[in-house]
Amino acid sequence: MTHPRAIPFATFGLTFVGSAVLLMMTYHWWILVVVAFVAGLWLGRTAWSTFWQAFWAVALLWGSYVCYLHLRTEGILTGRIAALFSLPIPELMIAVAAVVGGVAAGLGALSGYYLRMTFTNKRPPSVYQPT
């Protein structure tokens, strides 16, 4: 049985990705961290799930966007950026961008979750049993 207030991954992901896409049209890349912070503050249920939901939401978003840019520019843009980072193949930039964006969003969401835990009486479940 799930918790009555549990937010499924689809709801968290769609809320997060939808607002992130809308804000990224106007603001800089780091707006994803702010959106992740608010999503973690509002929708996060556990530290583990909050981090990974934000990570995968942004990794898929950025990975698909960089893949789109790679195909649209016929690999010229990713090739030049890969040369800056001394990467052997330009397609590796797609994975690098996805991981960097995912980690930034995951840490932002985790910060929001822990801020909420700081100001509420509920504490996250401990993995250690008191002795």
Q: How far apart are CA 35 and CA 20, in angstroms?
A: 6
Q: How far apart are CA 40 and CA 113, in angstroms?
A: 5
Q: How far apart are CA 65 and CA 27, in angstroms?
A: 16
Mean pLDDT of 104-111: 96
Least confident of 3-17, 37-51, 57-71, 113-127: 3-17
Residue 126 buriedness (CB in 10 A; 0-12 / 13-18 / 19+): exposed
**For residue 106, what pLDDT band results from cuts at 50, 70 and 90?**
very high
Mean pLDDT of 18-47: 82
Where are the chain's structural domains?
12-119
Assign 56 to helix, strand or coil.
Answer: helix
Crossing angle for the helix pair 76-84 and 92-119, to the nearest 10 degrees? 70
User: Is a pLDDT exceeding 50 seen at residue 1?
Assistant: no
